[in-house]
Structure 1
């Protein structure tokens, strides 16, 4: 792959931001949209960013995945609540020698995609990004933006870095997106959960921003306790996360602008919550090893109750 063609499945706060940056850098990018399709077709994509605002007046926008060209790299930036659609979507847009880059939160996501396209055609991506969608085709990038890429292999064996992951990383760096290459994707997934589980869960349950959770001594302590429980979960998968990493995540969040997490936004907008990918899958992985993560389980059951209410209202 010399010049890779990219597809963005899910042009929201995350997929829209990274896809727009890739196109701005001169790469061939094709966007799948839903409700924003007409607006973006007419007006393009607007990105307000701490790194500089820009507008893409013309983008390759599609409302139907079957009308998209086949691409070398298909970026899955949908919510995991929509992953049941991937078995219909991916065969239409992925080249025979292409790869799927999964930019989603949670655990076990790559396994689901590998069942569709094959074990050797999946790369995991973990985004440390503060970004919201303000309106149709209008993205606000508040802070951070680094993406960690890791090759997937069956049972999440650590396989190191490959030429193709380096090439995709180079494309992202060309787009001024900071990149880390993880030799162990499963470890990287558990590390991301150190942040996602406490902040996504508590922001919904306690109706709080990250700044509010960090400012209160009691909730800050609860965040830290949940982080250490994620570390215990990682150990059941044979992965070790250091105390230093927890301190780093707390420090990042202390310095972060006040942020409404993606799960809190979904809850406020009465959209289904990514409870299973972020909470259910890690809990089940740990339980198989005989470990019950009690505080995470408490969050899980509360979020399942709230998610059920949202789904009932949408029926």
Structure 2
């Protein structure tokens, strides 16, 4: 299958480069570094294997891109207002949009553009940073969990196209898990995203610093347990052993500055609604309050607004 990567940052750049290196037809949408990548290609540094793609299909406009079988949305959710313009030119009539973004409720936005039966979600457990134009530094982990989107997030099972896309990614060296229930998979990803992304900004800390301090680590666990309550409000159960697994993974991972902390430090808008606001609203609609997450959300909104004002 052919692949379009909308958003060639750390995530889109890394996965897209791996797919191209495996021999697949991949097309990349870029912004400021489009000319640089068109001329010099993509550079990937990784503990697995450093490699360079000297020639890539680089574009600054989806209208100039060929229609593809799989369109990977790897933009920040703060740019999703652009999707009604970006998606239609690049998705084949029988193609699928794979949403590789953090947060809750985002597939529904995409489905309103391309149709309910043409959307799939993906949850990435990837530590990677974009360190320069066309230059991606992969630090640790790279697994993706795939799930089919269905209206109202009913469990969609495992489809043939999920297996086909999984085979492409696995052929590119990316471990894949197939989820029968995308909504459960999204809540499970929030178990990590809400505490670590949020606290990395509030406490000005890397993941290893959060885990090395007892007070911060206890707060991480408290926030994780509130995410579990949020999932329960939608009749999704997350076992305690999953929380232990996430804590263990984080202790073992290389010191990491989260994507939200990087955005904050570079004075970019933070992905607050998808990661914090939407889960809080869903839980409130079900009569469940998540007070510590709500406090974190309010603090982050203040810091985000102040940070962006300083940028003007």
Query: Structure 1 length as normaliser, TM-score?
Result: 0.98
1:226 aligns with 2:202: no
Partner Cα separation in structure 2 for residue 149 and residue 193 of structure 1: 15
Candidates 87, 90, 93, aligned match of 1:93: 90
* 1:33-112 to 2 correspondences below 5 Å: 33-112=30-109
- Secondary structure of the residue that 2:10 maps to in structure 1? coil
1:279 aligns with 2:276: yes
Q: In the alignment, what sits opposite 2:148? A: 151
Partner Cα separation in structure 2 for residue 91 and residue 309 of structure 1: 35
1:6 aligns with 2:3: yes
Candidates 288, 291, 298, aligned match of 2:288: 291
Once the two structures are TM-superposed, the CA of residue 308 in structure 1 deviates from its matched residue by: 1.2
Q: Deviations over 1:234-277 (max 9, x none)?
A: 00010000000000000000001000000000000000000000
Candidates 159, 169, 174, aligned match of 2:166: 169
Partner Cα separation in structure 1 for residue 256 and residue 142 of structure 2: 14
- Secondary structure of the residue that 1:167 maps to in structure 2? helix
Candidates 105, 113, 130, aligned match of 1:133: 130
Q: In the alignment, what sits opposite 2:113? A: 116
Partner Cα separation in structure 2 for residue 49 and residue 205 of structure 1: 29
Once the two structures are TM-superposed, the CA of residue 314 in structure 1 deviates from its matched residue by: 4.3
Query: Structure 2 length as normaliser, TM-score?
Result: 0.99
Once the two structures are TM-superposed, the CA of residue 309 in structure 1 deviates from its matched residue by: 1.8
Specify every segment of 5 or more residues in structure 1 that has no aligned partner in the other structure, as ranges: none
Q: Deviations over 1:136-160 (max 9, x none)?
A: 0000000000000000000000010
Q: In the alignment, what sits opposite 2:195? A: 198
Following TM superposition, the consecutive aligned residue runs of length 4 or more in structure 1 with deviations greater than 2 angstroms are: 310-315
Q: In the alignment, what sits opposite 1:181? A: 178
Q: In the alignment, what sits opposite 1:307? A: 304
- Secondary structure of the residue that 2:87 maps to in structure 1? helix
Partner Cα separation in structure 2 for residue 81 and residue 312 of structure 1: 17
Specify every segment of 5 or more residues in structure 2 that has no aligned partner in the other structure, as ranges: none
Q: In the alignment, what sits opposite 2:255? A: 258
Partner Cα separation in structure 1 for residue 83 and residue 307 of structure 2: 23
Let me know the Cα RMSD of the aligned residues: 0.7
Partner Cα separation in structure 2 for residue 68 and residue 128 of structure 1: 28
- Secondary structure of the residue that 1:120 maps to in structure 2? helix
Partner Cα separation in structure 1 for residue 305 and residue 64 of structure 2: 34
